[in-house]
Structure 1
Amino acid sequence: MRTGSPGAYDAPVMRTGSPGPYDAPVMRTGSPAPYDLPVTGPRPPDPYEIPPPGEPGAGSAGAYAAAYAPTVAALALPRQNSAVRAAGVPELPAPPSGRAEARRAARRRKTADRPDTFRKLVPQALVVAFLAGGTSAFVASDKDVRLTVDGVPRTMHTFADDVQELLDDEGLDVGRHDIVAPGPGADLASGDDIVVRYGRPVTLTLDGQRRQVWTTARTVDEALRQLGVRAEGAYLSVSRSSAISRSGLALDVRTERTVTFMADGRERTVRTNAATVQEALHDAGIALGGQDTTSVPLGSFPRDGQTVTVMRITATQQVREEPVGFDVVRTRDSALFAGTEVVEQQGRPGVRRVTYALRTVNGVRQKPRRIAEEMVRQPVTQRVRVGTRQLPDSVQGADGLDWGALAHCESGGRSGAVDASGTYGGLYQFDTGTWQALGGSGRPQDASSSEQTFRAKKLYVQRGASPWPHCGRRLYR
């Protein structure tokens, strides 16, 4: 038990009887606790005690007494009353004794210690709360994800909230031909797998049909499976294991097809990936010779299920000479009686030599085809004079005779009749010399009937019926 007034750090006063709910702790006996103050010795200074006048710090207390007198009066402990009186602060009334006083003293000591402790603890608590909250937010935002780009995976930590933000952070641009799974708008959570596959342009020529396609496959084999192209037995312009770069490639694919050939009376069916009918013929073991050909062009693409006929062709040539008709030019002549035509120049046909190609297809002869021609002899134009002069109505001395009966007897009434020797011709069987002596032109059989009758009348006037010794008497019936 110490003597003197208790300090702020003194141990609690020994009580007697049962402690109340607000009593200070009972002093222990025995060995002191590690945090107990020593029982004897000088009392440590009280940081809240106002020094009495004449002691160090009294001047300071005097300077602040007026400003803080009410506060100090409210917080001063009982043993500080002397210092308060020296500072001019009204003295607190003497505390009552007993357990009530002990409880009030304990509360005053707690109240005196609380402000400084509170001021120290609040900033520390704020810092701890800030650090704890920031750490929690940091841990909550950090995500462990797996990003696979074109088959290359890597695990990373990210603060991105969704897939698009992660792609932006990684500098990955995706277009409409690219695949992102899950989609760019999907939220991210720790443990997610994000897959990015870039599209690649492929110029695909499939069985002769060219088109531009896009694929996310990284190899030719994977692209063929993705595009649904049957690669078994097919021809590929590049290896199936070849990689497809981001810039793409050109790929020619010819699938295996069934083609049937009809040749030499037999049918042959083959499986081929040939590019042309000619290559497919070679695969079928069929050879073409001479002018042999097929029912479809040899350079065409053989389609699946197509039937092609092989045509065996034999070819020869034939040369023929053919006549070429002549032209006829007619000239009007007023010296000739109307209806009379005189051939001034006899026409003559020309001759043309023509070469024909003859061929047989599978034993059947085809229509000859003209392949060349040359003129052997040029035709000669026939020139004819046509009379325009009007015939006289009568010949004096011969008009009353029966000229029809004479013509019927001499030529059967045919104006173009010619005797068997070719000497006499026409209705009245004139010889050419007599005819021309009477003013006729050309041959009598070429003149009109009226002109022939007119010349016959003139002959009768000159010589009577003697020119017609057998039929002349018919003129008089």
Structure 2
Amino acid sequence: MSSHRVRTAPPAPQERETEQGSAAVAQVPRQLPTAEPRPGGRAQARRAARRKKVTERPEGLRKLVPQALVVAFLAGGTSAFIAEDKAVELSVDGTPRTLHTFADDVGELMAAEGLAVGDHDIVAPAPGTALASGDEVVVRYGRPVQLTLDGERRKVWTTAHTVDGALRQLGVRAEGAYLSASRSRRIERDGLELDVRTERTVTVMADGRERTIRTNAATVREAVEEAGVSLRGQDTTSVPPGSFPRDGQTVTVMRITGTKEVREEPIAFDVQKTQDASLYRGTEVVVRPGRQGAKRVTYALRTVNGVKQKPKRIGSEVVREPETQIVKVGTKQLPDSVHGADHLDWGSLAQCESGGRPGATDASGTYGGLYQFDTSTWQSLGGSGRPQDAPASEQTYRAKKLYVQRGASPWPHCGGRLH
């Protein structure tokens, strides 16, 4: 450690003079005071006044130092205050204003100004960018636009303030296009609906001629009319007339003439079958014949560009209801044999009479079945309906009964085949 020497200050002049004075007093005899001061007394008084002034000066300095410190502190604080204040220009949706702020970055400035932004809004510079005096901050709010572009509807967002600016921002070619709102129309924060139909090339084929036009029509019908072609009566187009005409599309006009035709058509009857134990199995008897119904059907007959089309049914009306046919179906078991006729060669007789075909009939239609029964003989033997409609086993059974009654005479040409 370094030692510090303490110096003793030489005595002040006042102290030296005092010491000298004390010595003088000790050496000079005491004198009584006189009424008149001596001249040397005034000089001493001046010296005493100077000594007093010197003594009071450090005390005044001690009072001035704190005041100076306070002033210096205040001066430094003011400098810092001025340094934090920033003058920036804030533009919101194209409206600029200059303001003073203590915000450190763009995000703090936005919060201080109460500006909330969403996904479709733009802030430049970005919210985290530091701020300096003289900076410019731009805020543009997104606006929803219900855009129908060439027949296709969708929702888009734009920060443009006018229709013209939105079209440029969205990259929509507006030259020659139809716009449902003027280009100068302002887009408010709540947005707007905008219909845009760009100019397209459409070819119309009609009456053997081809017409190509440039159009921004909303429907095929409008495009056809712009091409100078009229649709009359039942005329139509190859694509729906109300559809949107696409660029490069070819539309064919179909000239249609049509009439109506009414035709009477039958309605088939139903067949209702019931079982009957009195009839042999395989036998069916028609109790009530069915009757067909009738209906009137209306057809549309069209000719398209001179070519007849397939008739189209457009209406129907029942004229007469059909009647159900009722049939009895036998369930009775057929006997296995007929006494006196079982030993005969019925197969040879059938082959001779009908070629062995149960449903065979002669040329006149009078005789039918394996054994060529006439209907009256068949029914006299207990058969029902026509013999050719009965099962082969029943036909053989009835033939045996007939043989028992009349022998081989019912078959004059083939009867000999039985033996």
Query: So what's the TM-score if we normalise by structure 1?
Result: 0.62
CA contact (8 A) 1:235 1:254 kept: yes
- Write the distance in 2 (CA, Å) between the matches of 1:472 and 1:212: 96
The letter of the residue matching 1:224 is L
> What is residue 201 of structure 1 aligned with on the other side?
143
Structure 1 residues 312 and 234: alpha-carbon distance in aligned structure 2, compared to 1, 3 A threshold? same
- Write the distance in 2 (CA, Å) between the matches of 1:363 and 1:436: 62
- Write the distance in 1 (CA, Å) between the matches of 2:105 and 2:344: 135
The letter of the residue matching 1:368 is P
Q: Mapping of 1:215-234 within 5 angstroms?
A: 215-234=158-177
The letter of the residue matching 2:97 is R
Q: Mapping of 1:8-407 within 5 angstroms?
A: 74=12, 76=14, 115=58, 118=61, 122=65, 126=69, 129=72, 133=76, 136-137=79-80, 140-158=83-101, 161-167=104-110, 171-176=113-118, 177-190=120-133, 192-207=134-149, 208-337=151-280, 340-377=283-320, 378-386=322-330, 388-391=332-335, 393-396=337-340
> How far 1:420 sits from its partner (Å)?
5.8
Structure 1 residues 243 and 382: alpha-carbon distance in aligned structure 2, compared to 1, 3 A threshold? same
- Write the distance in 2 (CA, Å) between the matches of 1:139 and 1:399: 140
Structure 1 residues 248 and 205: alpha-carbon distance in aligned structure 2, compared to 1, 3 A threshold? closer
CA contact (8 A) 2:381 2:398 kept: no
> What is residue 450 of structure 1 aligned with on the other side?
396
> How far 1:364 sits from its partner (Å)?
4.2
Structure 1 residues 205 and 179: alpha-carbon distance in aligned structure 2, compared to 1, 3 A threshold? closer
3-state SS in 2 of match to 1:271: strand
CA contact (8 A) 2:203 2:211 kept: yes
Range that drifts further, 374-383 or 107-116: 107-116
> How far 1:372 sits from its partner (Å)?
2.5
The letter of the residue matching 1:456 is L
The equivalent position to 1:471 in structure 2, one of 410, 413, 416, is 413
3-state SS in 2 of match to 1:252: strand
> How far 1:82 sits from its partner (Å)?
10
3-state SS in 1 of match to 2:182: coil
- Unaligned 5+ residue runs, structure 1? 1-69, 89-106
Structure 1 residues 318 and 459: alpha-carbon distance in aligned structure 2, compared to 1, 3 A threshold? farther
> How far 1:427 sits from its partner (Å)?
5.5
> How far 1:328 sits from its partner (Å)?
4.1
> How far 1:429 sits from its partner (Å)?
5.2
Structure 1, residues 156-177: CA drift from partner, whole Å, max 9, x if none?
Answer: 55555544555555x2414244
> How far 1:199 sits from its partner (Å)?
0.8
- Write the distance in 2 (CA, Å) between the matches of 1:168 and 1:408: 114
> How far 1:276 sits from its partner (Å)?
3.4
Structure 1 residues 175 and 449: alpha-carbon distance in aligned structure 2, compared to 1, 3 A threshold? same
> How far 1:269 sits from its partner (Å)?
3.6
Aligned identity (percent) is 61
3-state SS in 1 of match to 2:12: helix
Instruction: Determine which structure has more spread, i.e. the larger CA radius of gyration.
Output: 1
CA contact (8 A) 2:163 2:187 kept: yes
- Write the distance in 2 (CA, Å) between the matches of 1:435 and 1:195: 115
Structure 1, residues 9-57: CA drift from partner, whole Å, max 9, x if none?
Answer: xxxxxxxxxxxxxxxxxxxxxxxxxxxxxxxxxxxxxxxxxxxxxxxxx
Structure 1, residues 209-244: CA drift from partner, whole Å, max 9, x if none?
Answer: 444444332222222222222222233332221222
In the alignment of these two chains, the number of paired residues is 381
- Write the distance in 2 (CA, Å) between the matches of 1:392 and 1:188: 120
The letter of the residue matching 1:223 is A
CA contact (8 A) 1:438 1:459 kept: no
- Write the distance in 1 (CA, Å) between the matches of 2:329 and 2:240: 60
The letter of the residue matching 1:273 is N
- Write the distance in 2 (CA, Å) between the matches of 1:405 and 1:345: 37
> How far 1:403 sits from its partner (Å)?
6.4
- Write the distance in 1 (CA, Å) between the matches of 2:337 and 2:179: 102
> What is residue 3 of structure 1 aligned with on the other side?
none
CA contact (8 A) 2:106 2:130 kept: yes
> How far 1:205 sits from its partner (Å)?
1.5
3-state SS in 1 of match to 2:242: coil
CA contact (8 A) 2:145 2:158 kept: no
> How far 1:287 sits from its partner (Å)?
3.0
CA contact (8 A) 2:147 2:156 kept: no
> How far 1:353 sits from its partner (Å)?
3.2
> How far 1:438 sits from its partner (Å)?
4.3
3-state SS in 2 of match to 1:270: strand
> How far 1:250 sits from its partner (Å)?
3.4
- Write the distance in 2 (CA, Å) between the matches of 1:442 and 1:182: 105
> What is residue 99 of structure 1 aligned with on the other side?
none
- Write the distance in 2 (CA, Å) between the matches of 1:127 and 1:472: 157
3-state SS in 2 of match to 1:450: helix
Query: So what's the TM-score if we normalise by structure 2?
Result: 0.69
> How far 1:426 sits from its partner (Å)?
5.0
Structure 1 residues 452 and 411: alpha-carbon distance in aligned structure 2, compared to 1, 3 A threshold? farther
Structure 1, residues 430-473: CA drift from partner, whole Å, max 9, x if none?
Answer: 55444444444444454543034224313325xx73x66x6388
CA contact (8 A) 1:428 1:456 kept: no
The letter of the residue matching 1:206 is T
CA contact (8 A) 2:143 2:188 kept: no
CA contact (8 A) 2:177 2:196 kept: yes
- Write the distance in 1 (CA, Å) between the matches of 2:285 and 2:72: 142
Structure 1, residues 361-390: CA drift from partner, whole Å, max 9, x if none?
Answer: 444444333333333441441524537343
> What is residue 41 of structure 2 aligned with on the other side?
none
